[in-house]
Structure 1
């Protein structure tokens, strides 16, 4: 990164890192301010004076430590992109970075944020700078005055990237948060994707609404995929969603759906023109389309087990993986970044992928994000992330969420053990006379069957579980 303080460098760093990690390029931010705070607590702007020799040595040492950590990240942690989040405002500093990269065999791409709009600068300072760790327990007015003096210190030595002198460097210059761009000497596909992404983002206040379609007939049957229409409760939700959206009084709202009946039928109740995206279609389950999870386990036990081992990368035979879905959704993310207020009516797997991007979730977390039916999410971008509001529209629906294996196993074993205690009370109250051998046989069989039920029938209701385990007791008595 290159630029004066309060020009959005950290915002760009975090957003770019989130995007690259989401598309599968391991990326990490190395923020120089954090390294500085580890060695010396902040006192005042005097630390950033160009004639403060002692402070300059500390800052150089911090930069050196950060670059050493970059080497570790690439060599030991399998990283591919390191974002060096610092001002890097002098040509001397940038030359040292290029020399370091050349020695290690790395490529360098500079992202310079230039801003001379006083309103944008003032907003950025108010949003994040006066509340930074440097100004904890400090009066806001005093913090503002000190930070403005810090900027003046940097201005004394700031040398922007130059079209002529730096013509051999790879870089993008961003003027006033995207009003104009200058791109130079892009070297590879990663740099191309970075440029394309940075040219699509903006900071205009807006809200992104995400909702799954209303409950479908396939949902009622516990079947995945397919292209069924809405259930009666699904139609009720679609009407309720339309009422909710109207109550929000959203300016120039865009509505996107998939090509599937259930999202289109949901959007038709909104009374707003909608755009259909094939990229928003639900994950393709291949040979498992329109099956229940129990049928998949019975008919394709190996596939069922493989998916539980790595749900993000597992690909259904003749279908897709979550990883495939992320790549399919990349154009949607780009357009989502370009737009202002948008409502996306989509599907469970698709919504998980979009949420993982917006909330900076890992590939491991992504397939298990909870996206219940009949709940709208309102996401409002803030300084370095998104504020999330969950709005349940009071229309009941089936639960299509499947817990992470291991978590659900433990949860249901505990539940069924509690149910076994209830069954024991039933046996005792019925005055059944069992020999110690019979009682031990019943107990072991019920506990064993509890584990089996927990493994294979995780969506069983309480009453069904009682009935199932009760049958095991009847077999013995």
Structure 2
């Protein structure tokens, strides 16, 4: 996708959301099939200096510490080079403050020497509430502050920020940095300044960063209730819900009411089994054609046994490479990921959303939210047959733990945690909680 590797260089004072953006951007790029890796300089610094004592380490006149920090940057850049030049990576995200022109010039020289492109992402924020929230939500649990109280952490970290402010040189779009490619994210997305976007991947980066927000919200992914085709083992088609599928729709309504999800937006595909599931909720819903199940082409409405008998070569090819295999006249999982990209953008922009969708669609969406990258080999959703397994999964938090979810299998380690059944005669419902 990229004709030469790219180094994304994060810029900004501490507690400006750089690492949050770096991680989310990396997750997105891997999901669309661009091998990407984050190189967080804080990790290198903590490896070099095992015990953090105080903000004094970040003073600009602490020559010993300044030399350690520079050496950490050089080591990290060597790892960037190994990843991009030897390990098949296409994008490296250099996650550090990079607040001085001297440091940025060092990175630019490194990139030029290795024929890498550069794209800078600067986070500017002067909102004290946002900064304080970020410190308390993220930095209190940082390895730099083991067993310290919130007040002590806040005091030390604010002093650390002041140390950086002394030498901070923001990007200058009018003069010094006018020829660089970059985006400035101002006050967590209230405004943006974009300069000299030069290629396709840089435009994708800009588009993504302009759609994400830092506000906490939940995204629930739910499979439709069982359809008549599910009963018969047929794939695709536009069948209606079975009786058990209708029971699940009722149980889903109980779930929504029980959790008081009154501000919830509901999205469905344009296929009847998702629409019928949503109609039972008694709330407005939007139909998205791009949420339709993967197109099985000539194999639509066939069972897998019928496919194996009628198209044995196609059946074998699909079994060997499910992600890239494309049904004759239909789609591959790779096609489906590209189709679902606008859904991801909207989910990142919105508040609380319930997406009622299909098995293949849900696998692709889960691969994104669980940071599984392209390929989908690590995300498996247990089929509806013979025992119906439908899921309601909130998957929208910035940093996700991996609880155990029956019916959803992650390789190499199984994950799972369940809620009680609402009704014994209905499908089991499970919830994936993020903190």
Task: Say if 1:206 and 1:380, in contact at 8 Å, map to a contact too.
Answer: no
Unaligned stretches of 5+ in structure 2?
A: 1-9, 404-416, 429-435
The answer to whether the aligner puts 1:102 opposite 2:112 as a matched pair is yes
Give the aligned CA root-mean-square deviation in angstroms.
1.9
Q: CA deviation at 1:330?
A: 0.3
The answer to whether the aligner puts 1:31 opposite 2:31 as a matched pair is no
Q: CA deviation at 1:385?
A: 3.3
Task: Say if 1:201 and 1:338, in contact at 8 Å, map to a contact too.
Answer: yes
Residue of structure 2 equivalent to 1:375: 390
The CA distance in 1 between the partners of 2:178 and 2:122, in whole Å, is 14
Q: How many residues are treated as equivalent by the alignment?
A: 399
Task: Say if 1:229 and 1:261, in contact at 8 Å, map to a contact too.
Answer: yes
Q: CA deviation at 1:357?
A: 0.7
Q: How does 1:14-25 map to 2 (within 5 A)?
A: 14-25=23-34
The answer to whether the aligner puts 1:9 opposite 2:18 as a matched pair is yes
Secondary structure in structure 2 of the residue aligned to 1:137: coil
The answer to whether the aligner puts 1:141 opposite 2:151 as a matched pair is yes
Residue of structure 2 equivalent to 1:411: none
Residue of structure 2 equivalent to 1:465: none
Task: Say if 2:12 and 2:99, in contact at 8 Å, map to a contact too.
Answer: yes
The answer to whether the aligner puts 1:90 opposite 2:105 as a matched pair is no
Q: 1:325 to 1:393 in 2, by over 3 A?
A: farther
The CA distance in 2 between the partners of 1:269 and 1:398, in whole Å, is 15
Unaligned stretches of 5+ in structure 1?
A: 400-477
Q: Cα deviations across residues 344-390 of structure 1 (Å, max 9, x unaligned)?
A: 11000001111111111133445742266553324254442377775
The CA distance in 2 between the partners of 1:296 and 1:44, in whole Å, is 65
The answer to whether the aligner puts 1:125 opposite 2:135 as a matched pair is yes
Q: CA deviation at 1:140?
A: 3.4
Residue of structure 2 equivalent to 1:55: 65
Secondary structure in structure 2 of the residue aligned to 1:71: helix
The answer to whether the aligner puts 1:287 opposite 2:302 as a matched pair is no
Residue of structure 2 equivalent to 1:254: 265
Secondary structure in structure 2 of the residue aligned to 1:385: coil
Q: Cα deviations across residues 209-249 of structure 1 (Å, max 9, x unaligned)?
A: 11111100000011111110000010111111112112222
Q: 1:145 to 1:326 in 2, by over 3 A?
A: same
Residue of structure 2 equivalent to 1:353: 364
Residue of structure 2 equivalent to 1:403: none
Higher RCO (CA-CA < 8 Å; seq separation 6+): 2
Task: Say if 1:207 and 1:381, in contact at 8 Å, map to a contact too.
Answer: yes
Structure (1 or 2) with the greater helix fraction: 1
Residue of structure 2 equivalent to 1:338: 349
The CA distance in 1 between the partners of 2:338 and 2:312, in whole Å, is 28
TM-score, structure 1 as length reference = 0.80
Larger radius of gyration: 1
Q: Cα deviations across residues 107-163 of structure 1 (Å, max 9, x unaligned)?
A: 111111111111111111111111111112333332222222111111111111112
The CA distance in 1 between the partners of 2:241 and 2:378, in whole Å, is 24
TM-score, structure 2 as length reference = 0.87
Secondary structure in structure 2 of the residue aligned to 1:108: strand
Residue of structure 2 equivalent to 1:421: none
Residue of structure 2 equivalent to 1:207: 218
Residue of structure 1 equivalent to 2:431: none
Q: CA deviation at 1:170?
A: 0.8
Secondary structure in structure 1 of the residue aligned to 2:167: coil
